[in-house]
Amino acid sequence: MKKTLPARRRTFLASTLATGAGLTILPSGTLAGKGAGGKLNIALIGAYGRAKAHYGNIAHENVVAICDVHSDNLAMAAKKFPKAKQYIDWRKCLDQKDLDAVVCCTPDHTHAFISIWAMNRGLHVYCEKPLGDCVYEARAVREVYLKNKGKLATQHGTQRHAGDNFDRVAELVKGGAIGELKDVHAWGNRTHNKTAYLPAKGTPPQNVDWDKWIGPVQMHPYNPEYLSGRPGANCLHWNMYHDFGSWQVGDMGSHTMDLAWNAIDASAPTSAKADSEASDPYNPDVCPSALKAVFNMPANDWRGEIRLAWYQGGPMPNSPFGALDLKRISHGVMFKGSKGIIVADFKNRILIPMGKNTDMTYYKSPTPEQVAPPIGNFQQEWINACKGDLKTSCDFDYAGLMIETLMLGLASHRAGTELKYDEKNMQITNNPAANAYLKKEYRNGWDLNG
């Protein structure tokens, strides 16, 4: 295994400083933003809740549009951005002619739609996680981005990635601190107890457009529980239902798998297998609370083939020795190599040399020049990229492959068997019927690639 660090995906944004009268020139030769002083004209779609995390950064740009199916959310966002035009329907919002960029903070089942529609209109996109709600959506978003690479800046909303620990873990793994990488295990401990979509209860209030909230997926009757919960954590009231989300696979799985993904430089898997004994039975209404899915990841230029596993809601990897209780880590990753183990959460890491012949003399730590500098503010990195070299830490190529992999685990769970996967053609090769599980059904009139 090579012990030198591979080239970084991330290029730092020295080119993002404004020139002349505050206007930055993009590679295409166009101005960075249509707004005064080269500021970006931004549409905030999904205007409250998780969107509040973006208020501080985008307030320094021109927020010219806000969109939300909940009129009260629009009113609260309008207090912060009083000059912005207001919309209920994100499709009409994206037709506003002066836009440069979109920040998408809607429920999961519209993420892929909004991202693709925005990129098709030449707009930079920051999309909260997950990028898509099935294999097909993740692939579609990634392909549209790749067609526009060099023109658009994208960022996936895995903001924990900006923590220094992500790069320190990757440097240890890629630098050979645990020898040859063999297995990677990522887990989360959240659970749910839902068994079916909520029954009809009352009628939607006048301040909520329920048809627009449902959007492209199949219609379900209104129940106020879907919209309950505190702002920013409301997703825990609907993202376990198949039509609306992918439970922890797409939720905390996006964050925790990102800690692993940043270190393994992976493409899509060659196979996925959900463990039926460790996982809940398939339910057509709700995602499993307990799930274990194992992926075979092909070799790349610095490591061999590895096994990657995702656990949620109870199933856990075995601890390498009794003194280490992995269950005390609510969301974590364990990297197993030929000479040691790394256990990490979002902020901390432990390196454990293993084996009587492991003396660490084989490992050469990176020089200061090889240590990646801090990312800084994750949302600001995207804004700077829109105005500069278009490069971000979690663009839709990087994130699209990660989400495609995770969603393949849900497809295997539904199929009840291991799935052999042809990444190039996005096809299941050993179970043709399971190809239907890579996609979702949309309501008439909703086009993913609009």
| pLDDT score at 233 | 77
CATH, domain range 14-160: 3.40.50.720
CB-based contacts of 384, cutoff 8 Å, min separation 6: 13, 16
| pLDDT score at 322 | 87
Burial class (CB in 10 A: 0-12, 13-18, 19+), 28: exposed
Residue spans of the chain under pLDDT 70: 1-32, 36
| pLDDT score at 32 | 62
| pLDDT score at 145 | 98
Tell me the per-residue pLDDT of 398-417, one tens digit each, with 9 for 90 and over: 999 999 999 999 999 999 99
Residue 199 is classified by DSSP as: P
Nearest residue to 169 (alpha-carbon basis) of 343, 297, 366, 406: 343
| pLDDT score at 36 | 67
| pLDDT score at 293 | 98
The residue with tokens 């039975």 is 281
| Residues 247 and 310 sit within 8 Å (Cβ to Cβ) | no
